[in-house]
Structure 1
């Protein structure tokens, strides 16, 4: 009998405890977790994110000093991710491949731009050693920055299948280091270029005439007269300066991601950096083409620093006259060399 009474008392206590527990669960806010239905329309992720599309983010509460840690979901991040994965490769592909196609067509139709009078066997100094150093410093850094940057957008599609995941991972790690550190000499080079060449690259009326005649590049006729830099070269100069400045500012924020202040601003600068980079690369392809295989004698300007006098007179007649006036001689630093 005593044992039966104890069992009955325990059973009654257990029932009472279960009733209190049920009452607590139903009245406590956490009870909502028990009634959670993953398939319910009210909690579908897409509907939730679409409803919050107008806002910046979905945030919670944190006790640590970094308030950004409270951000749980940022709906705008989906647009940024979609841009990086789909739109940016299309922009880069159209800009870069399109430029290569145009240059190939131009070479086939126009051919290489020759020196009409032939090489004279005399040269004139066009760029001194310091100018050439700054040019090649900036150009070499740009090439590495361009290739390592393109790897971010196209590496998984084009390089990973060729070399495998291990080699691709190692190459990408080194490319990232090169991209980060070579950004600084590139920025320095752009700044020095601006300081030493700005006086020769101010647009003027003479440039309009050069543009009207297409620089003489579309025909075998006479090239329009120009001073040290013609309108086409001035265009490249300002592309380098403006594009380099935008790449530098946006790249600086990417190197130091806490500077923008929030994720939305950082995403904005990554988009600017990526778009300008693709257009920048396309423009530099045209510059490289003209300075190498596209125009006979042009590479010497940044190679040895001296160009043939006939080449200089055909493309920069007014500049040659200025040099002759300064030196009071047939040409500044003119000397006999074997004709090519």
Structure 2
């Protein structure tokens, strides 16, 4: 159509007029953005960068970027040591805990079946003497009760997802874990207080000596009811428990303090180190305390009275702490042997 051809000729004429202008704008854009104009893919250079990244990962170096905020640790993109830490928490730590805790329970069960309960050989005398004053018992139970809750709440971190979550479901497990975390954080302080008091009031009676070596050589009377080596207020076994509590408690307290205040270690690597120390010592600590609880309850007849009422039977004290009994009798703080009478054990 004649009209259509006229319109096309007019459009071509207009485009021809603006064509130089469009070309000029394109050149201006290119020169204004030199970086964009020079972008190109360089296979060799990219391979070199990737090779450096892989080598850094193998050597354990951190892969970092750049940040504009004051916290420089936020620049860490990849930290291979963190993967090792995660692998330890998920695989190695459960094995350490399982072997130490379940192993101790198995040993105690076998010992109870083979040896039986350690009885008072001469029977109860019917006379008692003070072994632990009320303040000593308060300190013991303060520390012990805090330790039990700390141990259970800590074990929930390592084994809760595997053992508790399937039993109670995610909602109940989440609620329980939240309360356990609060208890773990706040009961750490009375535990540390009790630990310090225990050290101050009992350190004088827990210094190792030659008498303790003789006690150990005789097995502490654990294998026979009628042969208990003489001991002072604390025998070698009890001294061992004391130092396990003090040393283990200090390590747990120091490492736990860093976990409560994670900015104190200064960097992530140090924080990971203290989490490993806290977890490993906790597993071994729990295993040792299981042995202590066993001996102080069902394992030895009359032992629980020491921390229960504070009074122990005279014959029990003479069999397990003969030297201490003589010292107390010389002070007039224990019944004499002539006043003691044998009462059949239940």
Q: Does 1:317 align with 2:322?
A: yes
Return the offset for 1:68: 1.6
Question: Could you say which residue in structure 1 is the equivalent of 2:144?
Answer: 139
Match of 1:193 among 177, 198, 209: 198
Question: Could you say which residue in structure 2 is the equivalent of 1:52?
Answer: 57
Counterpart Cα distance in 2 of 1:310 and 1:100: 30
Identify unmatched segments of 5+ residues in structure 2. 1-8
* CA 1:9–1:190: 2 relative to 1, 3 Å: farther
Match of 2:289 among 284, 287, 290: 284
Question: Could you say which residue in structure 2 is the equivalent of 1:150?
Answer: 155
Question: Could you say which residue in structure 1 is the equivalent of 2:259?
Answer: 254
Would you say the 8 A contact 1:123–1:335 is kept in 2?
Answer: no
Return the offset for 1:220: 3.4
Counterpart Cα distance in 1 of 2:333 and 2:187: 43
> What is the CA deviation profile of residues 238-291 of structure 1, one whole-angstrom value per residue up to 9, with x for unaligned ones?
000000000000000000000101111100000000000000000000000000
Return the offset for 1:49: 5.0
Q: Does 1:303 align with 2:303?
A: no
Highest CA radius of gyration, 1 or 2? 2
Return the offset for 1:52: 3.2
Question: Could you say which residue in structure 2 is the equivalent of 1:79?
Answer: 84
SS of residue in 1 equivalent to 2:59: coil
Return the offset for 1:203: 0.3
Return the offset for 1:29: 9.8
Would you say the 8 A contact 2:129–2:335 is kept in 1?
Answer: no
For the aligned residue pairs, the C-alpha RMSD in angstroms reads 2.8
- TM normalised by structure 1 equals 0.89
Match of 2:12 among 4, 9, 12: 4
Question: Could you say which residue in structure 1 is the equivalent of 2:118?
Answer: 113
Counterpart Cα distance in 2 of 1:106 and 1:24: 86
Counterpart Cα distance in 1 of 2:294 and 2:237: 13
> What is the CA deviation profile of residues 45-91 of structure 1, one whole-angstrom value per residue up to 9, with x for unaligned ones?
9x835533435422222222221222222111000010111110110
* CA 1:164–1:29: 2 relative to 1, 3 Å: farther
1:222-237 equivalences under 5 Å are 222-237=227-242
Would you say the 8 A contact 1:124–1:335 is kept in 2?
Answer: no
* CA 1:156–1:36: 2 relative to 1, 3 Å: farther
Counterpart Cα distance in 1 of 2:77 and 2:21: 44
Question: Could you say which residue in structure 2 is the equivalent of 1:245?
Answer: 250
Moved more, 272-281 or 66-75: 66-75
SS of residue in 2 equivalent to 1:327: coil
Return the offset for 1:219: 2.7
Return the offset for 1:194: 0.3
* CA 1:304–1:271: 2 relative to 1, 3 Å: same
Return the offset for 1:8: 3.7
Counterpart Cα distance in 2 of 1:305 and 1:29: 88
* CA 1:148–1:329: 2 relative to 1, 3 Å: closer
Question: Could you say which residue in structure 2 is the equivalent of 1:63?
Answer: 68
* CA 1:266–1:219: 2 relative to 1, 3 Å: same
Counterpart Cα distance in 2 of 1:157 and 1:65: 39
